[in-house]
Amino acid sequence: MTTQAVRPAVISTWFDHILFQMRAQAETPALVMEDRAVTYVMLKTGVERCASRIAALNIPRDGLIAILVQNPVRHITLCLALLRIGMPSISIAPNQTGIGSLAFAAVLGDHDAAKFVAPGNRLIEVTDAWFSDDVAGLAPLPAGFASSSDICRASLTSGSTGAPKTITHSVANIGHHLLDKTIGCIDGSRSSVLCMPGLTSTFGFTTACATLASGRTLCFAQSPFQAIRMIELFRIDFVMAATEQMLALTRVARKTGAQLRSLQTVWFGGSLPSRALLEAAMIYLCKNVNCRYGTSEIGLVARATARELLSNPSFVGHVAPGIEVGIFDSQGSRCADGRTGFVKMRAADAGSPWIDLGDVGWHRDSRLHIVGRSSDVNAASARDIQTSMHEAEHLLRLEWDVVDAAAVLIDEKSPAEIWIGVVDGKDADAGELADMLRMRGIDHRVRLFDLKAIPRGASGKVNRPQLKAVMLAATGKPVTA
């Protein structure tokens, strides 16, 4: 009896498309890193070997299994193995905020995984043999998920809270995210996708699955320098990245003079871009740069091209079909279109809950504008308050060779001041930066602070209230000022 015959009724899901690609184009590269390539038939073999080993471990089938394996090729193989036998998974990373207190049915990890997870978790070391050796004498693989409503995946996200929280995803929900990628993002003519977001994020995981389900080559890079080399070496034509990663790629491409002739499309999301970043990305990466604004819970919310963003300050995109956006005041009442307030969204189905991403902005005619994080700005303040902060920190990081930088707006004086925390940026010049900002219509004073690190939250976003407190303390002012 074939594998398809013993699997339950849901045989046309997104995961079945991945299994189909493994059979239909066996010799096509499925996974690529700089030093290795895995064809679809090799991926099929790896998935079956890992699935057989996991099935023999007697882990409760409804228990959440964590994957703590740093090699992305092995990591995605384990994810697919768990999907193949109908067991839910969550991807975690070493030193990831919040994982030290979580309990899992089992942790599939590298040899040092015990250092990063809570004591009491069942640790199972994933060795080379998992991927190289067949396991004899095992029972046939169990069937996959029986229903599209079954939970198949979980992810950690901070949302608007700044603290990690676990979000679960059904088979159908992951399929919705994949549809966002294949229709809303990945061009049909593209052959390879460089996935920069980590597999621990819904963004990275669904990008990886959408690439494989559509039969393209999925590429991974461990650093922006390696990513630029791989684009040139393997003629990668599509990049999916977080905003911070796009900034890093742009800096490296500019610094090295890379010739990225194959690269045709870049999609980014995760935090707000600046005019400086968009212009630089379109010069040094490719012309077709696009923004996707979304959430782990419901997927793509809005999208737009860089050209549209450049001509509309604070614009982040046209609201996607099936999504309702609402703007609320501090009392929780919904505001009229065009009013600035707290942005919430939900699936346009009856009874769907509102989701708060922690952003401030406004909405009109299915066009969404974001002015900043609710922790960073006053919802009643000027609409373009985010422009100066992001423009300053992105200009600094593009023009000077700094390790990291982040800005806050200090509006206690007139003109206002932009304070920027800088990590290893001794050559950065506040006066030159102020002149650059003035040429862009931002007439603010600039002050730089040398820091050992930029305070960031669980999802990597800048913790601006904490950053401001650190810089205020450096001036001798009370931290609460």
- Name the least confident of 91-100, 116-125, 305-314: 91-100
Q: For every residue of 223-275, which 3-state class applies, written as one string?
A: CHHHHHHHHHHHCCCEEEEEHHHHHHHHHHHHHHCCCCCCCCEEEEECCCCCH
Angle, CA of 132, 133 and 137, to the nearest 5° = 155
Cβ(392)–Cβ(446) below 8 Å = yes
Looking at 3.40.50.360, 3.20.20.80, 3.40.50.1360, 3.40.50.12780, the CATH number of the domain 221-373 comes to 3.40.50.12780
Confidence band of 478 (pLDDT split at 50, 70, 90): low
Residue 211 has pLDDT above 90, yes or no: yes
Q: Which part of the chain is CATH 3.30.300.30?
A: 385-474
What rounded mean pLDDT belongs to the chain?
A: 88
Residue 1 has pLDDT above 50, yes or no: no
Residue 7 has pLDDT above 60, yes or no: no
Task: Note the pLDDT tens digit of each residue in 333-375.
Answer: 999 988 999 999 998 876 788 988 888 999 999 999 998 887 7
Q: Residue range 139-150: average pLDDT?
A: 88
Query: What is the model's pTM?
Result: 0.90
Nearest alpha-carbon partner for 166 in 174, 155, 151, 158: 155
User: How many residues are listed for the chain in this entry?
Assistant: 481
d(CA 310, CA 397): 19
d(CA 328, CA 321): 21
Q: Does domain 385-474 have CATH number 3.30.300.30?
A: yes
Residue that the structure tokens 């925390």 belong to: 421
Question: What pLDDT, on a 0 to 100 scale, did the predictor assign at position 4?
Answer: 36
In angstroms, what is the C-alpha Rg of the chain? 23
Cβ(292)–Cβ(309) below 8 Å = no
Confidence band of 5 (pLDDT split at 50, 70, 90): very low
Cis geometry, peptide bond prior to residue 415 (ω within 30 degrees of 0): yes
User: What are the φ/ψ torsions at residue 285 (nearest 5 degrees)?
Assistant: -105, -75
Q: Which part of the chain is CATH 3.40.50.12780?
A: 3-213, 221-373
> Helix (H, G, I), strand (E, B), or coil: what is residue 167?
strand
Q: Which CATH class is domain 3-213?
A: alpha beta
Confidence band of 458 (pLDDT split at 50, 70, 90): low
Gap between the terminal Cα atoms of the chain = 71
Q: How many CB atoms lie within 10 A of CB 287?
A: 14
DSSP 352: P
Question: What pLDDT, on a 0 to 100 scale, did the predictor assign at position 10?
Answer: 38
Confidence band of 421 (pLDDT split at 50, 70, 90): very high
Question: What pLDDT, on a 0 to 100 scale, did the predictor assign at position 95?
Answer: 83
User: Which amino acid makes up residue 197?
Assistant: P
